[in-house]
Amino acid sequence: MTDTLDTGAGDTGAGDGGAGDGGHHRFDGTSSRRLLARLRDIMAGSGSGQERLDKIVTLIAAEMKADVCSCYIMRAGEVLELFSTEGLNKTAVHNTRLRVGEGIVGYIAGHARPVAMDNAPSHPSFAYRPETGEDPFQSLAGVPILRGSKVRGVLVIQHKDRRRYVEEEVETLQTIAMVVAELVAQSELVNPVEVTTTGDPVLLPARLSGTAMSAGLAIGLAVIHRPQLTVRQMVAEDADAELERFNAALSTMHSAIDDLLEAASLAGLSEPRDILETYRMFAEDRGWLSRIREAIRVGLTAEAAVQQVQNDTRARMSHLTDPYIRERLMDLEDLTNRLLQHLAGKTNGADAGTLPDDMILVARSMGPAELLDYDRSRLRGLLLEEGSPASHVCIVARALNIPVVQAADAMNRIEPLDQLIVDGDHGQVFIRPAEDIQMTFAEAVALQHRKEQMYAEIRKFPSVTRDGVPISIQLNCGLLIDLPHLTASGAEGVGLYRTEIPFMVRASYPDVKAQTDLYSRIMDEVGDRPVIFRTLDVGGDKMLPYMTGGEEENPALGWRAVRIGLDHPSLLRQQLRALLLAAAGRPLSVMFPMIAEVAEFVAARRLLDLELKRLAVQGIAPPSGLRVGTMLEVPSLLWQLPALLPRLDFLSVGSNDLTQYLFAADRGNPRTSTRYDPLSPSMLCVLRRLVDECARHKVSLSICGEMAGRPLDAMALIGVGFRTLSMSPPSVGPVKTMLRSMDVGALRQYMSGLYTGADHSLRDKLRSFAKDHGVII
């Protein structure tokens, strides 16, 4: 969608040219094919890299009727140097330099995203360089020159008049940027040694701090996973032949995925098989395939078309922080690499004969199928530069009991066969560790195996505290592939099902039938156990690709969740209709997110009542039991509890948002995330009041944020009075072990004297209580 390219005042929607030739010039597929054909002639011709780059920028300016075309190349120290231009002062070439982040060119390099705007001087990053003579140019479109995951430069066109750039122009610039990236890679412009990032001396021990993605400890030798092939030939001579090659490679890839599915089934791996089935559906995504085929028809080779579509997808989605969107992007990265492998005829996967017996896989990113290419009997751990705990590869890794850590710069710091220790409990990696550290972690690995055996045994026992208080443990889910965890973990139900995921991975809004089918499958999988469906929670940095909406200064407090549903009631009504139809006479629980006042809940409930009347008119049976509730994330609701609770069947605390809103501190900002603690007296007082009010109104209360899944925090929640905790599957074993070792009465008595204190955090005091009373945390 073109709106994702706009980072300033400009509008990148379709529009007329009007620059350069003084007329109305519309750039289309024919123009793009002509430009690419001439580009092929330049690349096949003679001349140095600089001479060919000069010809390329001259060609772009002429074909795209641009007043300026410039190419900046990355030099050492993250400096962008003007290497070639048509339209700016020639004396500026090799003299004008911009730091990454400086000017619009530096902004493009820093964010690795295209920019297209009709009023470039209004952009907050605009930087005027008088030596270039660029004063009169109003409009600008620029794209990063990407080689793998790294920015190697920026390619820019400019026009004197204010002008809207069409999507085909930006996509064509991205294709040309791939060609320029090859010139850089071939050392024809800049020596690659100059821009190589140097890490610690190779032979010295080192430690990387990162994010824990899958718990556990692992010791082994580094195996570097580099699946991406270099695309050498960009422009095709015969589009029909390229389409035939692409279709053949696609068919071969589908067959290979089917073989992985069969192998997972034979090995009894139900969860990885479910993920591979979802992955297989991604491989058949019509939107993805049609964009690749269209790029081939325009004049690209099959390999270049696959890579361009992925580069475009990465640029559109890379700024989003939602873990499920990132997971979708990782799957597409995996598919792109796999498809390129099949186009190149390289389909053997990992060569087991050259791999060590105890290996730690190191990768920039990875998809689930790529992980399963490796011998599980040898794989001990996984280290990623990019990823999230909700990614498919991490879900598969957890199912296989493989520790995972995400840490930046891992590929530059680690050499093949380096000794590694992956600490998935604390998010750290030791590179070439000293012998005493190796011995310490070897003992910890042995202890970990004993804990895993204990967690496996405890699944059989009820979730009851030592003094007989029952605690309901439920799961947070967002994909069908999450549901097998219900049985495996021993959880009692799904306390939070995030319905927004199917909306995010589609190119258009799913209709009622598609939603009904999905919700029905979820209910079938869950069976008699309870499941709470949270209505669409998108917006902010999780904007749907087919919904218009500009960037927001503070998306966490912006147009999101139920606010979108109430502003577009037809969308919310369709989702509610699908949920009611999917229930088909079964019990149904619906929860509205981001409710800030009772009036919002009343308005949302009114839409649900309208859909119930619609069912009655059509003679369709309603759910056998309907429970309606809300998330409590916004503190304003705390002062409306007497008016809210009589209208609810249940209330669920979203502790992540509630905490950051209560303390006015962004939990994603490292400067503020440590300034508060959920186990502070103020937060626990809020939660205790909720427990008391819900008990008074006989409203079920649960908590589904991250607090519920951390053993010490969960202990405090039980002490406050919570009896239903919803968490991610890996947290079930540790939390259940903790609660079965605690005495609620003793804890409540101890905590009664803590609420009125002036402490920043009660964490240390609660940890001391646990130690003194034999609570396992």
Residues 123, 104: contact at Cβ < 8 Å? yes
Which parts of 643-696 are beta strand (E)? Answer: 650-653
Biggest CA pair distance of the chain: 84
Alpha carbons 482 and 499: distance in angstroms, whole number? 13
Residues 474, 491: contact at Cβ < 8 Å? yes
Of 392, 394, 477, 694, catalytic = 392
Estimate the crossing angle of helix 323-343 against helix 270-283, to 10 degrees: 70
392 tagged catalytic: yes
Given CA atoms 476, 482, 483, 487 in this order, what sign does their dihedral have?
A: negative
Alpha helices per DSSP H over 510-654: 512-526, 562-567, 569-583, 598-618, 641-644
Alpha carbons 775 and 738: distance in angstroms, whole number? 6
Burial 493-527 (b: 16+ CB within 10 A, else e): bbbbbbbbbbbbbeeeebeeeebbebbbebbebbe
Residue 168: φ, ψ to 5°: -60, -35
Distances in Å between the alpha carbon of 125 and those of 71, 102, 122?
18, 7, 8
Measure CA 235 to chain center. 32
Q: Name the amino acid, one letter, at 267.
A: A
71 tagged catalytic: no
DSSP assigned state of 464 = B
CB count in 10 Å sphere of residue 412: 12
The residue assigned the tokens 């030596």 is 131
User: How many Å from the N-terminal Cα to the C-terminal Cα in the chain?
Assistant: 48
CB count in 10 Å sphere of residue 351: 7
SS3 content of the chain, % helix, strand, coil (to 5): 45, 15, 35
Alpha carbons 57 and 610: distance in angstroms, whole number? 60
Comparing C-alpha atoms, which of 484, 588, 483, 485 is closest to residue 535?
A: 588
Burial 678-701 (b: 16+ CB within 10 A, else e): bbbbebbebbbebbebbeebebbb
CB count in 10 Å sphere of residue 34: 12
Q: Tokens at residue 456, please? A: 């496996």
List active site positions. Answer: 392, 704
